[in-house]
């Protein structure tokens, strides 16, 4: 199976935080952001594998700063590494405040997706072609996270 470049499956998704997306403090609901992260990551995984992909796990989800009503949220999802039937997808979330002219990193997450066939069974996915120094770093770090993920799964 021919390797696919990271850039070929990257996703940039933009959302506007509206009143229905916020809590009583005017901050974006964590669950709403998790929903957007899952969608962006699923699209990246599907683009990479040319298959329907399902969420297998969410390793790490870090909230760095609240995102406020009226801000613009940009989600960038990239397949960091592919294994046999699974892929690690990293998502970086930035918040843009147009009034203040500021952009800040608000969140990052790592998710694992599995590509499935028409009967719902896992299928092999193409390897990732990491080209830039940042892509190579994320590719290598994905292996370390996978080993930790598998170790946690085998503990209990």
Residue spans of the domains in the chain: they are 4-155
pTM recorded for the entire structure: 0.94
Determine contact, residues 115/45, Cβ cutoff 8 Å: yes
Which class is 4-155 in CATH?
A: alpha beta
- pLDDT value at residue 149: 86
Per-residue pLDDT at 156 exceeds 70 = no
- Specify which residues 153 forms β-bridges with: none
Per-residue pLDDT tens digits for 80-131: 999 999 999 999 999 999 999 999 999 999 999 999 999 999 999 999 999 9
The rounded distance, in Å, linking the Cα atoms of 47 and 4 is: 10
Query: Which residues, in sequence order, are CB contacts of 28 under 8 Å at separation 6+?
Result: 17, 21, 22, 66, 67, 68, 69, 71, 73
Closest CA to 114 of 103, 122, 102, 104: 122
Using left for φ > 0, alpha for ψ between -120 and 50, and beta otherwise, residue 97 falls in beta
């Amino acid at each position: 199976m021919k390797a696919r470049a990271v850039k070929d499956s990257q996703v940039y998704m933009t959302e506007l935080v509206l009143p229905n997306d916020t809590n009583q403090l005017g901050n974006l609901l964590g669950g709403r952001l998790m929903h957007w992260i899952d969608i962006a990551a699923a699209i990246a995984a599907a683009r990479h594998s040319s298959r329907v992909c399902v969420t297998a796990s969410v390793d790490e989800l870090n909230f760095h700063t609240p995102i406020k009503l009226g801000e613009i949220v940009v989600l960038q999802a990239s397949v960091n590494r592919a294994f046999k039937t699974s892929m690690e997808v990293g998502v970086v979330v930035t918040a843009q405040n147009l009034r203040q002219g500021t952009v800040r990193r608000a969140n990052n997450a790592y998710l694992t997706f599995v590509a499935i066939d028409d009967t719902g069974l896992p299928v092999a996915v193409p390897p990732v072609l990491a080209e830039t120094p940042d892509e190579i770093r994320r590719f290598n770090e994905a292996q370390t996270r996978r080993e930790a993920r598998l170790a946690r799964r085998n503990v209990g």
